[in-house]
């Protein structure tokens, strides 16, 4: 086995183990710390919806809530990011400033720029995580955390590799 095959196998193993972990819990990497969230329970209990609506109303500006704020609310209330997204939809609020740069930025909606020369470690991690030509938002975050790079760098690499990022943890796409 050469060095690239070993790196690929190690990366694939890490992503596999991370994916297994995420079947039980959702790991959210914020700018402050890693927080463990409860899994998505659909539908949300009425008391969770009321608490979520109140927290969103306190932080939203002009019926818009930033992606980072959405994840902070989810962590604070110990609810899934999907619960935040569903409640935002019910309130007819919009999510802005996607941390992967895919939507909600001004004046352009997305700020992702295709990376022409993708680092081999990053390319290997993305390819190992890919299913049907795409990776999930959650896997993109995992890759960024594992490689200790900004989330937008993963998005730029995916764009350069022709890889789609879908679905969003908040349910936006």
Are 38 and 92 members of one domain?
Answer: yes
- Tell which of 65, 96, 127 closes a domain: 96
Given the structure tokens 């902070």, which residue do they identify? 72
Report d(CA 121, CA 111) in Å as an integer. 23
Are 38 and 86 members of one domain?
Answer: yes
pTM of the model: 0.74
Q: How far is CA 14 from CA 28, 95, 100, 153, in A?
A: 16, 30, 21, 19
Domain of 58 in residue numbering reads as 34-96
Sorted by sequence, the CB contacts under 8 Å of residue 108 that are 6+ apart come out as: none
Please report whether residue 11 resides in a domain.
Answer: yes
* pLDDT band (50, 70, 90) for residue 46: confident
Please report whether residue 134 resides in a domain.
Answer: yes
Report d(CA 65, CA 57) in Å as an integer. 9
Tell me which of 23-32, 61-70, 110-119, 123-132 is least confident: 23-32
pLDDT score for 40: 57
Residue 26, pLDDT > 90, answer no
Are 42 and 21 members of one domain?
Answer: no
What is the number of structural domains in the chain? 2
Please report whether residue 172 resides in a domain.
Answer: no
Please report whether residue 173 resides in a domain.
Answer: no
- Tell which of 70, 96, 122 closes a domain: 96
pLDDT score for 45: 73
Residue 102 has which token pair? 């895919």
Are 74 and 53 members of one domain?
Answer: yes
Q: Using CB atoms within 10 A of its CB, is residue 140 exposed (0-12), middle (13-18) or buried (19+)?
A: buried
Task: Report the interhelical angle of 151-161 vs 120-129 (nearest 10°).
Answer: 80
* pLDDT band (50, 70, 90) for residue 34: very low
**Pairing outcome for strands 164-165 and 94-96:** unpaired
Mean pLDDT of 48-54: 94
Q: Which residues pair with 27 in a beta bridge?
A: 36
* pLDDT band (50, 70, 90) for residue 135: very high
């Amino acid at each position: 086995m050469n060095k690239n095959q070993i790196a690929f196998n190690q990366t694939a193993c890490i992503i596999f183990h991370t994916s297994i972990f995420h079947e039980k819990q959702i790991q959210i990497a914020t700018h402050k710390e890693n927080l463990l969230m409860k899994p998505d329970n659909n539908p949300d209990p009425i008391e969770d919806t009321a608490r979520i609506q109140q927290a969103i109303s306190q932080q939203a500006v002009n019926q818009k809530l930033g992606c980072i704020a959405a994840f902070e609310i989810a962590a604070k209330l110990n609810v899934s990011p999907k619960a935040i997204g569903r409640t935002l939809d019910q309130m007819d609020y919009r999510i802005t400033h996607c941390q992967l740069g895919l939507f909600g930025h001004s004046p352009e909606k997305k700020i992702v720029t295709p990376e022409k020369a993708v680092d081999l470690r990053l390319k290997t991690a993305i390819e190992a995580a890919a299913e049907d030509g795409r990776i999930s938002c959650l896997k993109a975050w995992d890759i960024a955390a594992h490689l200790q790079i900004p989330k937008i760098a993963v998005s730029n690499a995916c764009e350069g590799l022709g890889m789609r990022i879908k679905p969003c943890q908040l349910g936006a796409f």
